[in-house]
Structure 1
């Protein structure tokens, strides 16, 4: 058989085996009855797995290719993309989850590729290292599950300047009329396919008032006003009952009020800057329950800021139009 054909088959195996390995890990880590041992929402799955995929890809590649730095950095991305596509087609994961995980997986796959190259280059005891790499998720995951996750609370602060009377701005804050799709300027949440804001309703203005922030796809934030001063500030708790959210609305790993992510409260404050100019402040607090809050928190803050800035832009536009 010609050498080129043998090499191409070797490369195909180097891509196929890591893809199948990653898919197997995803299936095993997704078994509900094993959630005390394995979890998709873990450092093991999100950090160790892509590193192993990169290592396997380069270790199984022909030496002439594996020793090239560019090959070791980039080729491990191919099984990562194959893995992502397969899990989406098999409905094991959603588009939003993978989009958030993609930078992490690609970077760690490249690191794993460099580790595989090093083993090839120094002709180390590759079989032993290969065995350790393949078994590592099964050894590390149960240990990780013994670690109690400490909830981390984050604040997202946003603001916008509005040139309109105080009363007009406040009317558009406490109650938000229906937002047509063309008025929605959110970018990140559209990209991720998350629900978009529709309207907000309030039964009365004062402490104890009930407010509903309604989004598409059946998502509703139930809000209770805890502090209120007319045309100055409004503080409210936020609750989203995961039982009331349709299963098709959000992936279980980013479900609001679910096991990993919850929004706690929101705060509006209207600051008078003089000369009919105001600064509308909007902040919120949310909580994460993962072993990788340092990464999940970055994404969650970006998503929450996108939601808040979108709402603030709507309120600004409406207040200035109806001045």
Structure 2
């Protein structure tokens, strides 16, 4: 209930400094309604309620142009019911999710380039998580905005869990894609949460118009051209093997069956990449060919382009539609596919002494996405790890 002392102090403060501070355990809707009704009788309409940033019991009644020394957060006066608060949020979130599903399952009947693109584009991988982060943060800020790093992180985690569930249950994405794209999606989610925090705190009161942003990723996917470019990179790993150069050269040509206990532990296998199980070089009519087999039925050929024993072995790759059976790897990271390809690989053997050889493995690759700056980080890591695994197998067998 408003006291005469409170009314007098408030009017004097508003006239002198355009804001009035007061203490309260909690600022409920009943009290705010009483203040608004009373100030309306005094001819005062354009004001709002604010709360001190650190002192949660200190509040302000202030005109919008008031300059308050203490950092404060606006207390939104809109008291929406459950439907008014969550229904627009649910609709906006559904639009974003349907955009992703449409990109996954509805693009087969449309042109591949220019009109509709796959999930591996910036609109889906970056913009949709960004807007999901904005939506979750806006929902949390409707009652009262709060410029908090931890709350932005929490909203990003909630959004990331949602994306994870949709990716597994609806899009049937594999672990490899989830691990690779997870950090990028989380960064976009966090950025979206942070941007929405700034907007809610400093610029305007809540409005359901913000939910119309959810249609933007779909429009961008439909009308923006494909910005993906081909990036050609190279990884290189070297290892010292205590064995004669001739023995090392023979070993990398005649790999044979690889037992499970020969394959070193690596995080790439926990991600879902298949392990090597066989390799052999043989002479054919068309030339020397290396036959390579991995787990889950993966089988392809490496056609030798240069062999200078015992110094150099170089090859390129030949993949067929049956090289990677369904489910052997994620579609978006399939070797020889739209987004990634292996181009050329070579072993260089340098003789250090009669019983020591330096083995250098170089791999040339192509990556084609709209965010090659990020994709190439993962490609370099995966190829580097795989190179270490293969050379360690040779090292353990020869030493």
Q: TM-score, normalised to structure 2's length? A: 0.72
Residue in 2 that maps onto 1:59: 138
Larger Rg: 2
Cα shift readout 1:137-194 (whole Å, capped 9, x = no counterpart): 02222343x2363321111111100111222212211121211112111413212111
Map of 1:150-299 to 2, 5 A cutoff?
Answer: 150-204=229-283, 208-299=287-378
Task: Tell me the matched-pair count.
Answer: 315
Tell me the secondary structure at the aligned position of residue 264 of structure 1.
strand
Comparing 160-169 and 200-209, the one that deviates more: 200-209
Calculate the aligned-residue CA RMSD, in Å: 2.9
**Contact 1:10–1:62 (8 Å) recurs in 2:** no
Query: Within 2, Cα distance between the matches of 1:123 and 1:148?
Result: 33
**Contact 2:96–2:214 (8 Å) recurs in 1:** no
Residue in 1 that maps onto 2:55: none
**Contact 1:186–1:307 (8 Å) recurs in 2:** no
Query: Within 1, Cα distance between the matches of 2:237 and 2:207?
Result: 53
1:101 aligns with 2:181: yes
Query: Within 2, Cα distance between the matches of 1:308 and 1:276?
Result: 22
Could you tell me which runs of 5 or more consecutive residues in structure 1 were left unpaired when the two chains were aligned.
none
1:313 aligns with 2:392: yes
1:23 aligns with 2:103: no
Relative to structure 1, the CA distance from residue 17 to residue 132 in structure 2 (aligned partners, 3 Å threshold; closer, same or farther) is closer
Q: TM-score, normalised to structure 1's length? A: 0.88
**Contact 1:206–1:225 (8 Å) recurs in 2:** no
How far off is 1:234 after superposition?
A: 0.6
**Contact 1:14–1:57 (8 Å) recurs in 2:** no
Identify which of structures 1 and 2 has the higher relative contact order when contacts are C-alpha pairs closer than 8 Å and 6+ apart: 1
Map of 1:58-137 to 2, 5 A cutoff?
Answer: 58-63=137-142, 66-69=145-148, 70-124=150-204, 127=207, 130-131=210-211, 133-137=213-217
Query: Within 2, Cα distance between the matches of 1:311 and 1:10?
Result: 59
1:33 aligns with 2:118: no
Could you tell me which runs of 5 or more consecutive residues in structure 2 were left unpaired when the two chains were aligned.
1-27, 29-79
Relative to structure 1, the CA distance from residue 277 to residue 94 in structure 2 (aligned partners, 3 Å threshold; closer, same or farther) is same
Tell me the secondary structure at the aligned position of residue 61 of structure 1.
helix
Question: Which structure has greater helix proportion?
Answer: 1
Query: Within 1, Cα distance between the matches of 2:206 and 2:269?
Result: 45
Tell me the secondary structure at the aligned position of residue 315 of structure 2.
strand
How far off is 1:129 after superposition?
A: 6.3
Comparing 112-121 and 186-195, the one that deviates more: 186-195
Query: Within 2, Cα distance between the matches of 1:200 and 1:255?
Result: 20
Detail structure 1 runs of 4+ shifted over 6 Å in the superposition. Answer: 6-18
How far off is 1:297 after superposition?
A: 1.2
Query: Within 1, Cα distance between the matches of 2:87 and 2:156?
Result: 13
Comparing 290-299 and 304-313, the one that deviates more: 290-299
Query: Within 2, Cα distance between the matches of 1:14 and 1:116?
Result: 16
**Contact 1:202–1:210 (8 Å) recurs in 2:** yes
Relative to structure 1, the CA distance from residue 305 to residue 8 in structure 2 (aligned partners, 3 Å threshold; closer, same or farther) is farther
Relative to structure 1, the CA distance from residue 99 to residue 14 in structure 2 (aligned partners, 3 Å threshold; closer, same or farther) is farther
